[in-house]
Structure 1
Amino acid sequence: MKQYVALVDVYSSGNFLPQYFRDAGFSLIHVQSTPELMPSMLGPNLSEFEHNLAFNDNAEEIVQRLREFNVVAVIAGQEPGVPFADYLSEQLQLSTSNGSAGSRARRDKFEMINKVAAAGLLTARQIKSSDPQQLLAWVEASHVFPCVIKPLSSASTDGVSICHNVEDVKRACEEVISNLDIFGLANTEILCQSYLKGPEYIVDTVSRDGQAYVCGIWRYVKREISGGKNIYDRDVLIAPDSAEANVLVDYIVQALKALGINNGPAHSEVILTEAGPALVEVGARLNGNMEPRFHDISLGGNQAQLTYLAYCDGEAFKANYAGKRYQKLKEACVINTDTTLQGEVTGFNDSAIQLIEALPSVHKLSVKYKAGKLMKKTVDLLSSPLRVFLVSESQRSIDEDYEQIRQNKDHVYVIR
């Protein structure tokens, strides 16, 4: 009997999922948690799916449609689809469902931190409110400057600001409330957290029945710019058996358990403070920097393929991956460049692109803006104009190429 996998909200890196299920002989259904596709992110290639089911304020209708097929897994393709994937998989009584009871804490950052703190893990102190004055009163009474202001349920550092004084808090709150998040949803409340000092890391995992495989651990290098924006610069792969990796993995395994992410991928961000690791947030989805071949070369596997295996061949996953960690096969780095350029993209400088692509450690260059788009000064991950994947036997080669990329990044686009 034909078997189907339903992918909910396949945006951005979620587009790497379909190929692994299709290659294994599964048919695909795409489910939209919104009536129309979200325009703010790269959407799904609907030609890869036999059916596309769009939610129109009737969740039961989607459940009934899915019951017409032999659906063996329902998986979130991107952050907005997490609650709906939880609900649908639960309604279909799939053994790989994370259940809907914990869905809110897997999306709402305030509830997420509360749940992890309730499990006895170190976290930031926090408050949420729709009233900036209430946040200001809490910050001043609690003596938590610097503090962090952010939306409750966005991603990619969207709307995140580090605040050092009262004026910073006022400005950051106004920015959150007056803008939609990257998923096109209104920000009705603001999250304020104490600032966690220390290096920040990515810990990527895939789980089956509560047993996690660590796909990769990357150290963030960020730079704080004017306006309290802490922008991405690069992610650097660390050794899986290092002392810092051991501490981070122990913490994240407990955090995943607290949040009920027992099945599927997770992209966690953690700061290693003097008191120990403390969670920034967890996304129950693929890493946004997912690039399968790059990860295969540097890590010996990739999160998208492992997600397929965890859902559709659980015994093989548990036998070969559960409780284990990636291999560091090569030195690796992902650069998200910044820019101060602003204006309409009218074209591209092929010589600058070719120069970057010819650097010894460059695996892939992703040019994010298309001709006709408006480029703005980088304030978050979404406004980064270039993503460059670097891999090499030598860290020195990567460091040298990084400097060359920094020197040439602003020559790639023609702006007017």
Structure 2
Amino acid sequence: MMTPETPVTPHPAPVGVVVDGYSVGKFLPAAFQRLGADVVHLQSTPEFLSTVPPPDLRPYLANVVHDGLEGTAKQLAEYAPVCILPGQETGVMPADLFAEYLGLPGNGSALSLSRRDKYEMIEALRSAGIHCARQLKSADPAEIVEWAQRESAYPVVVKPLSSASADGVFICRNAQEVRAAAVSVLGSYDIFERRNTEVLVQSFLQGTEYIVDIVRGPGGGRHVCGVWEYEKTETGSRRIYDKDVLLTPDNEPVAELVAYLDTVLEALEIRFGAAHAEIIMTPEGPALVEIGARLNGNLEPGFHDACTDGNQADLLALACVRPEEYARRFTGKTMYRKRHEGIVYHGQTSLSGVVAAIDERVLAEIGALNTVHLAVPRVAPGDRLRPTTDLLSSPLRVYLTGSNHQDLMADYRRIVALKDDVFRLV
């Protein structure tokens, strides 16, 4: 823990630090500012990652570039921050490290790797006696194939150790597919520009997959922000996200999923901040796919506020800036209230080519549907559109909410019919 020789002059307003505010991290500055707080950005790499759009630094007081523990901590300490939070996966370990060093609320660095590396994550659960997949990691495709043949009934799952958004995830039904998947992953780079020098193979978890999103405050109060059921389509060796459907808190299997997640949080020592878990309800009970110690990548604050009684970004900011208020509202283990039905649709395409333009007329037609809260193209003119194999290659995201699930589904079917017309290709 850092002990500065001279007292730090507090900033006039509370200050939060966001590490790598790419993607979903963009919602944290506004959440802090709504509470009268400021934010500083910590860039964990010398240059911004080239694989994702750079963070918008305009809402931040400053951008501090990580250049070593002591020097960077000294710069951050000048702002007397109340918290250090990850803006995406690459920010998890630096946030753990600097929060610990500066004596701020956090999860500590002892199990940081288990919160990022998917092999270490599942091994931590196994050590705690928690139901989870069988697995092996290796740099040798032959060893991966041998394990699949010997240890697990097909199918098996082959994937990178620390990527996200279903990047490089393959469902393999025979030895040939396992070898091809392992070779594909090994030597490639994940979406965070990390070289995949090893590959992970796991037993296939049969069942329905769910999302469970939570926030934990400094006093340990755990609030479930939402439980969603994944609906996917299967294409070859890929299971592709189609939509997330919000569940009512008293529906099955919400209580069982949440109880299981509480054991996962303890095993991984996620005791403060946000977490986004993906869990499959197998015939033997819940089993973790993976968990991110950060916000849900599909977060859209206005949409989540419309569907439930609070979005992750604002609740996390409240836990940091006004911990006493958070503790009063979320003492112990609490559950969200469902206000309206909610669906997040992940558009799929079989098209391939360079986007010449977005057809604003078609996009406006989608946006005008009664249950559509927001429709967001995820490619822009000049980008290459490719057939959808994962969340990264989904070209359109649409948020739907309303009082009647049938109305959402009717609009969903209309969107599916229009989705490819949004993009004009060269």
Same fold (TM > 0.5): yes
Match of 1:277 among 281, 286, 304: 286
> Are 2:46 and 1:35 aligned?
yes
Quick one: which amino acid aligns to residue 161 of structure 2?
A: L
Match of 2:122 among 113, 119, 142: 113
Identify the residue that residue 22 of structure 2 maps to in structure 1: 11
Matches of 1:116 and 1:239 in 2, distance apart? 28
Quick one: which amino acid aligns to residue 24 of structure 1?
A: L
Match of 2:268 among 253, 259, 281: 259
Residues 144 and 179 of structure 2 are in contact (CA less than 8 Å); yes or no, is this contact kept in structure 1? no
> Are 2:390 and 1:380 aligned?
yes
Identify the residue that residue 300 of structure 1 maps to in structure 2: 309
Matches of 2:136 and 2:93 in 1, distance apart? 23
Q: How does 1:73-152 map to 2 (within 5 A)?
A: 73-94=83-104, 96-152=105-161
Q: Secondary structure at the match of 2:357?
A: strand
Q: Secondary structure at the match of 2:21?
A: coil
Q: Secondary structure at the match of 1:48?
A: coil
How big is each residue's C-alpha offset from its partner over 1:91-129, in whole Å with a ceiling of 9 and x where there is no partner? Answer: 1011x1210001000000000011112222110000001
Quick one: which amino acid aligns to residue 416 of structure 2?
A: R
Shift of 1:351: 2.5
Residues 187 and 197 of structure 2 are in contact (CA less than 8 Å); yes or no, is this contact kept in structure 1? no
Shift of 1:210: 3.1
Shift of 1:81: 0.6
> Are 2:93 and 1:53 aligned?
no
Shift of 1:167: 1.3
Quick one: which amino acid aligns to residue 411 of structure 2?
A: D
Task: Name structure 1 gaps, 5 residues minimum.
Answer: none
Match of 1:390 among 400, 418, 421: 400
Identify the residue that residue 180 of structure 1 maps to in structure 2: 189
Identify the residue that residue 238 of structure 2 maps to in structure 1: 229
RMSD value over aligned CA atoms?
A: 1.1
Q: Secondary structure at the match of 2:182?
A: helix
Residues 210 and 261 of structure 1 are in contact (CA less than 8 Å); yes or no, is this contact kept in structure 2? no
Match of 1:341 among 351, 358, 363: 351
Identify the residue that residue 6 of structure 2 maps to in structure 1: none
Identity of aligned residues (%): 43
Q: Secondary structure at the match of 2:79?
A: coil
Shift of 1:171: 1.5
* Structure-1-length-normalised TM-score: 0.97
Matches of 1:230 and 1:92 in 2, distance apart? 42
Quick one: which amino acid aligns to residue 419 of structure 2?
A: K
Matches of 2:350 and 2:88 in 1, distance apart? 29
Shift of 1:193: 0.3
Quick one: which amino acid aligns to residue 176 of structure 2?
A: E
Identify the residue that residue 5 of structure 2 maps to in structure 1: none
Identify the residue that residue 365 of structure 1 maps to in structure 2: 375
Residues 32 and 53 of structure 1 are in contact (CA less than 8 Å); yes or no, is this contact kept in structure 2? yes
Matches of 2:205 and 2:220 in 1, distance apart? 28
How big is each residue's C-alpha offset from its partner over 1:52-86, in whole Å with a ceiling of 9 and x where there is no partner? Answer: 11123x22221121122211111111110100000
Task: Name structure 2 gaps, 5 residues minimum.
Answer: 1-9
Matches of 2:376 and 2:163 in 1, distance apart? 23
Matches of 2:308 and 2:52 in 1, distance apart? 27
Identify the residue that residue 338 of structure 2 maps to in structure 1: 328
Residues 331 and 393 of structure 1 are in contact (CA less than 8 Å); yes or no, is this contact kept in structure 2? yes
Quick one: which amino acid aligns to residue 216 of structure 1?
A: G
Shift of 1:44: 1.8
Matches of 2:51 and 2:152 in 1, distance apart? 37
* Structure-2-length-normalised TM-score: 0.95
Identify the residue that residue 247 of structure 1 maps to in structure 2: 256
Matches of 1:384 and 1:166 in 2, distance apart? 29
Residues 122 and 132 of structure 2 are in contact (CA less than 8 Å); yes or no, is this contact kept in structure 1? yes
Matches of 1:210 and 1:162 in 2, distance apart? 37
Residues 6 and 74 of structure 1 are in contact (CA less than 8 Å); yes or no, is this contact kept in structure 2? yes
Shift of 1:242: 1.6
> Are 2:210 and 1:165 aligned?
no
Shift of 1:311: 1.7
Quick one: which amino acid aligns to residue 64 of structure 1?
A: K
Shift of 1:20: 1.7
Q: Secondary structure at the match of 1:10?
A: coil
Residues 210 and 257 of structure 1 are in contact (CA less than 8 Å); yes or no, is this contact kept in structure 2? no
Shift of 1:354: 1.9
Shift of 1:254: 1.0
Identify the residue that residue 319 of structure 1 maps to in structure 2: 328
